[in-house]
Amino acid sequence: MEIASIITIGDEILIGQVLDTNSSFLARALEEEGIHVGSMISIGDNEQQIEETLRKELSAKDIVIVTGGLGPTKDDITKKVLFRLSGSKKWVEHPGQLEMVHLILRSRGLDVLPINLAQAQVPDKAEVIVNKKGTAPVMVFRSSEGKGTLYSLPGVPFEAVGAIPDVMADIRSHNSLASITHRSVMVYGIAESSLSEMIASWEDALPSDMHLAYLPDPLTGIRLRVSVYGGDKEKNEKRVDAQLAGLKAILGNLIYSLEDSSLQKSIGEILKERAETISAAESCTGGEIAHLITSVPGSSAYFLGSVTSYAISVKEKVLGVPSSVIEKYGVVSAEVAAAMAEGVRKLTSSDYAVSTTGLAGPGGDGINPEGTVWIAVTGPRGTRTVRYSYKNDRARNIQRFAASALNFLRLYLLEGE
- 22 contacts 155 by C-beta, under 8 angstroms: yes
Interface with its own copies (CB under 8 A), residue total 71
> What is the number of alpha carbons within 13 Å of residue 150 lying toward its C-beta?
30
Regarding beta strands 382-389 and 3-9, do their DSSP bridges make them parallel or antiparallel, or are they unpaired?
unpaired
Among 65, 129, 222, 347, binds its own copies (CB under 8 A): 347
| Stretch 214-253: interaction string toward its own copies, x if CB under 8 A | -x--------------------------------------
23 binds its own copies (CB under 8 A): yes
Q: Is 219 exposed, middle or buried (0-12, 13-18, 19+ CB in 10 A)?
A: middle
Quick one: which of 33, 40, 118, 369 contacts its own copies (CB under 8 A)? 40
Piece in contact with its own copies (CB under 8 A), picked from 136-144, 178-186, 311-319, 375-383: 311-319
Is there binding between residue 367 and its own copies (CB under 8 A)?
no
Per CB under 8 A, 17 contacts its own copies: yes
Question: Residue 86: is it exposed, middle or buried by C-beta count within 10 angstroms (0-12/13-18/19+)?
Answer: buried
Instruction: Please tell me the distance from the alpha carbon of residue 157 to that of residue 301, in angstroms, as a whole number.
Output: 30
Non-local CB neighbours of 291 within 8 Å, separated by 6+ positions: none
Binding residue (CB under 8 A) for its own copies from 85, 139, 185, 289 = 289
Contact between 311 and its own copies per CB under 8 A: yes
Quick check: 137 and 50 in contact, CB under 8 A?
Answer: no
Contacts (CB under 8 A) with its own copies, residues 90-129: 108
Shortest CB 123 distance to its own copies, Å: 25
The rounded distance, in Å, linking the Cα atoms of 355 and 71 is 47
Q: Which of 72, 287, 322, 369 binds its own copies (CB under 8 A)?
A: 287
Q: Does residue 300 bind its own copies (CB under 8 A)?
A: yes
In b/e form, how buried is each residue of 362-384, taking b as 16+ CB within 10 angstroms? eeeeeebebbbbbbbbbbeeebb
Residue 340 C-beta: closest distance to its own copies, Å: 11
**Is residue 313 close enough to count as binding its own copies by CB under 8 A?**
yes
Among 294, 320, 334, 369, which residue interacts with its own copies (rule: CB under 8 A)? Answer: 294
Mutual angle of helices 47-60 and 75-85, in 10-degree steps:
40
Binding flag, residue 388, its own copies (CB under 8 A) = no
